[in-house]
Amino acid sequence: MKPENVLITSYNQLYVTDIVSYKPTYVDSENITCYNQCFGNLDNNKRCYMAPERFWGENYNDSLKDYHRLERSMDIFSAGCIIAEILMERTMFELATLKNYKRGTFNPKTILDKHVQDPQMVELIMKMIDLDPSKRPSIDPCLQMFDRDGSIPQSFSSCFF
């Protein structure tokens, strides 16, 4: 995910976009060339907010690689990473740490606990970036957890895109 694909508006709305249609849904984790051609370059590997299930290869579970549809859970993962970056004022995942997270050798909660003061926000982000896409909440529960004090207008829930 390139930084120009993330937009926070003056209305405090978060957009995660990528209007390029030729990018593959899944990327071979062992072939960095494909990743760089489609999602970045060697300099951009310092920020990688692709959902872990989009990487496949010999070291990963390949059961999903034949399913070529983008899922909303993938966007929830990216949004969780962006929220974390905003709160921490630093990158959540680099390409290497994302791969380690997928392998189970990196725990992002340690970084979040260190840099995010609000434990409920840490809990929200951890739910949004869960390794199991089926455990990631949809946008409604995320908004409810994010808006504990009721400051987000109710109409906001009905107009997300």
User: pTM of this prediction?
Assistant: 0.73
Q: In sequence order, what are the beta bridge partners of 29?
A: none
In the prediction, which pLDDT does 152 show?
55
Residue 10 confidence class, pLDDT cut points 50, 70, 90: low
The tens digit of pLDDT for each residue in 74-88 reads 889 988 998 899 889
DSSP assignment of the chain: --GGGEEE-TT--EEE----TTS-SSEETT-HHHHHHHH--GGGGG---S-GGGEESTTS--TTTT-----HHHHHHHHHHHHHHHHHTS-S--HHHHHHHHHT---THHHHHHH---HHHHHHHHHHT-SSGGGS--HHHHHHHH-TTS-S-GGGGGS--
Concatenated DSSP letters of 56-92 = ESTTS--TTTT-----HHHHHHHHHHHHHHHHHTS-S
pLDDT given at position 1: 44
Rounded mean pLDDT, 106-117: 94
pLDDT per residue as tens digits for the range 120-158: 889 999 999 999 999 999 887 877 777 666 555 555 555
pLDDT value of position 81: 92
pLDDT digits (tens, 9 = 90+) for 13-69: 666 666 566 677 777 777 776 666 666 655 555 778 888 888 776 544 555 555 567
Per CATH, which fold does 3-158 belong to?
Transferase(Phosphotransferase); domain 1 (1.10.510)
93 by Cβ neighbours in 10 Å (0-12 / 13-18 / 19+) ranks as: buried
pLDDT (0 to 100) of residue 84: 92
What pLDDT score does 132 carry?
95
